[in-house]
Amino acid sequence: MELTVSTECTIDAFVCQLHEHGTVVAEVGNLRWRLFTKKQLEAEICHRHEEIFPEAIARAHYQAMVWHQDHVSQHRLPPATGYVWKTIDLFSSQPPASIIHLDIKFVQAEVQMFTSLCVVTRYKRDFLHLTKRGGKISSNVDPRVTFSVERGAFKKTENFVLQLQPVDSATTTRIKEKTTEGSKFLTCSSIVNMEWASESFTEPVYMTLPCPPNPVKAKKAAAARAAKEAKMKNPQMQQMMMEDAAQSKRRDRKKAKPSAHQKQAATTDDDDDRPTTASVTKWYMGQYGNNEDDENDLLHFLKKLPNNRWTVAENVSVVQVKLDLLQLRLDQPILTFMVIRTRTNADAQDAQYLAETIESGLKERVVGVVVRQRIDNQCEVVMAAVPITRLEKVLNQFDDEGYEPGVAANNQEQKDAAIKILNDGDVLEVGFTGNIKCQDPDAKLSFVFNSQLNSHLSFPIIEVDKYLQKRLQRVQGICPATEEVGSGSHTDQERRK
């Protein structure tokens, strides 16, 4: 990890090759003198070695040490000041705090100099430890998440990091509606990310993890709770209702009891060998197992492999201790895992597909793409990509600024927005079809979508051929938005309209 003399010599030789390819000179100072004697301009570009390169090499080396430990939660690095980095305290003695203004969350901080800052948020990381005396500890993020071990399970204090990534209801709803395996999906727990100091356990670690219950059980529990509360509020009414229910049962029992004539007719009737009240056989195989009122379900424990694929871990015991609480037995450290609750007709492959779909669905955003024209100048167009949660607010803002929807070919007003599924970092490119085009041929007709920033683009349009649609009252055309996925190279990027 230390910066050696051989590394400095190698960097010197590399810089010499950059300024004069194929040279045998391996020191920047000698190359500078050689270029000066040849009266070349490269001698002015090639800075003096004792002024620039030692500091630049030291700073780059420290950056490389940080990147080398990017997978470690707590970096073990020497002081940055020893590698020509300077520590500047931008903030005052008061720590940054979050405030809410006009339904928007801001970060307020006092700085000591003008600079560029960026606010980065992440899920809270909980630093916990289990002692060799054993016992039970609770998480500071969610008190329902607990860890318990027996005495002597660890030879020394076990330090670990816990991070919970919740799965929102919008993601689960999209999975149930738009995937084939969604009919088998019920609920799931949060995605658990952990970092353990030990590589193995001598004794199992018991962990409790909250998981939403089966919707059928939840409805029955809510109904029983409401009935109990009603009984506590009005016990006389509850007793009258119970008496009415008992009387109705006795009446139904008398009606169901067959008379002597019915018994005789049933014994003499040979045409129908099966009674009319025969029960219908219910099948619980394949597609017939999708019963909305079924209280039975399956719990699948899935862990994430180093190749970012999910797999079912059969050796982990999952027990439901409460309606919405599970107990896991961990015999070895697992870094990333989750529990999925499915119907009884789901298998391990379905659970793996659901886990991968949930992870990718958390990155997706339901976005409304809005196109508006200015009322006083129809040639001024604005296009915006807005999360569905802020769509109504942005539409009202466009109305206040004097923008209105365009008119479709059938003289009907267009919809408020086109719903799309985007990821942060995706690029939306604007195209033109029909008798319109952009007035500025050098205009940049693309913008990057970010769910936390304003993603919009304004551009002027003109007609292509003024004689093409002279019978119509207005020039008509379409501005399609083409999505270019932000990840990947430009040669294999996926495009969707």
- Structural domains for the chain: 5-83 (no CATH), 125-216+294-346 (2.60.220.30), 364-496 (2.60.40)
Is residue 111 helix, strand or coil?
strand
* Count of alpha carbons within 13 angstroms of residue 143, beta-carbon side: 0
Over residues 365-380, the pLDDT tens digits come to 888 888 888 888 888 8
pLDDT of res. 139: 92
Most confident of 242-246, 341-345, 489-493: 341-345
Mean pLDDT of the 464-483 span: 63
Sign of CA dihedral 154, 158, 160, 162: positive
Over residues 222-261, the pLDDT tens digits come to 888 887 777 777 766 556 666 666 677 677 776 665 655 5
Radius of gyration of the chain (CA): 34
CA distance 296 to 332: 29
pLDDT band of residue 492 (cuts 50, 70, 90) is very low
Q: Which residues of 137-163 are buried (b: 16+ CB within 10 A; e: fewer)?
A: eebebbeebbbbbeeebbeeebebebb
pLDDT of res. 105: 73
CA distance 89 to 97: 17
For residues 80 and 345, the model is more confident at 345
Pick the closest to residue 181 from 67, 340, 13 (CA basis).
340
Pairing of strands 380-387, 317-322: unpaired
CA distance 370 to 486: 20
CA distance 119 to 453: 12
Pick the closest to residue 368 from 383, 380, 385 (CA basis).
385
Q: Is the pLDDT of residue 343 over 80?
A: yes
Pick the closest to residue 138 from 207, 212, 204 (CA basis).
207
What residues does 36 pair with on adjacent strands?
A: none
| Residue with the two structure tokens 């499915």 | 342
Total number of residues shown for the chain: 497
Pick the closest to residue 435 from 463, 458, 411 (CA basis).
463
Q: What is the largest CA-CA distance in the chain?
A: 127
pLDDT band of residue 442 (cuts 50, 70, 90) is confident
What single-letter amino acid sits at 167? V
Contacts of 494 (CB under 8 A, 6+ apart): 484, 485, 488
Reading the block at residue 24, the tokens are 């045998």
Cα dist from 452 to 106, 172, 225, 317, 393, whole Å: 12, 22, 41, 40, 14
Least confident of 60-74, 78-92, 280-294, 334-348: 280-294
pLDDT of res. 412: 45
Range list of H helices, 299-450: 348-363, 391-400
Pick the closest to residue 176 from 341, 36, 1, 422 (CA basis).
341
Find the helix or strand (DSSP H, E) in which 372 lies: strand 364-374
Q: Is the pLDDT of residue 415 over 90?
A: no
What residues does 104 pair with on adjacent strands?
A: 101
Reading the block at residue 53, the tokens are 């390169």
Find the helix or strand (DSSP H, E) in which 253 lies: helix 235-256
Over residues 168-222, the pLDDT tens digits come to 888 888 888 888 888 889 999 999 999 998 888 888 999 999 999 988 888 888 8
CA distance 170 to 369: 19
pTM, two decimal places: 0.63
Contacts of 283 (CB under 8 A, 6+ apart): 289
Find the helix or strand (DSSP H, E) in which 210 lies: strand 205-210
